[in-house]
């Protein structure tokens, strides 16, 4: 009788371990999908940020060239205002990129799945 209960308890534990493993495997899949989405947006925001920085450099070069040709300062002011606006957008874009990059790293498959494998292997070996 006691052996039968021990056998049933062991089956129950293994069933629960399998259920937990299924739940955790699903979580790994969700995190992998999220990581891919964040990576896509990191690349998009990075590209936009690069374009903004490049346009800032070009506009600054135009402003310097106009100053060198003795164009009056009031004619260059609109260019400077645009450069300041683009610089602000580039700064905001780099901050967004940092946050997305952190979130992407949080959902990386390798970190989470490694922890899951350790927990499950310890649990399985304890129950034997």
- The per-residue pLDDT for range 72-88, each reduced to its tens digit, is 777 788 888 888 999 89
pLDDT (tens digit, 9 = 90+) per residue, 117-126?
Answer: 666 666 655 5
**Rounded to 5°, angle at Cα 49 from 43 and 53:** 145
pLDDT (tens digit, 9 = 90+) per residue, 83-122?
Answer: 899 989 889 988 998 888 888 777 665 566 666 666 666 6
Could you tell me the two tokens for 43? 């690349």
């Amino acid at each position: 009788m006691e052996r039968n209960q021990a056998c049933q308890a062991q089956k129950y534990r293994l069933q629960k371990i399998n259920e937990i493993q299924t739940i955790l495997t699903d979580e790994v899949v969700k995190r992998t999908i999220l990581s891919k989405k964040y990576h896509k947006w990191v690349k998009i925001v990075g590209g936009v940020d690069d374009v903004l920085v490049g346009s800032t450099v070009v506009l600054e070069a135009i402003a310097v060239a106009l100053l060198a040709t003795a164009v009056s300062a009031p004619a260059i002011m609109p260019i400077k205002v645009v450069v300041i606006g683009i610089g602000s957008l580039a700064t905001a874009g780099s901050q967004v990129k940092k946050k997305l990059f952190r979130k992407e790293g949080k959902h990386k498959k390798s970190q989470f799945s490694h922890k899951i494998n350790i927990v499950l292997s310890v649990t399985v070996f304890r129950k034997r």
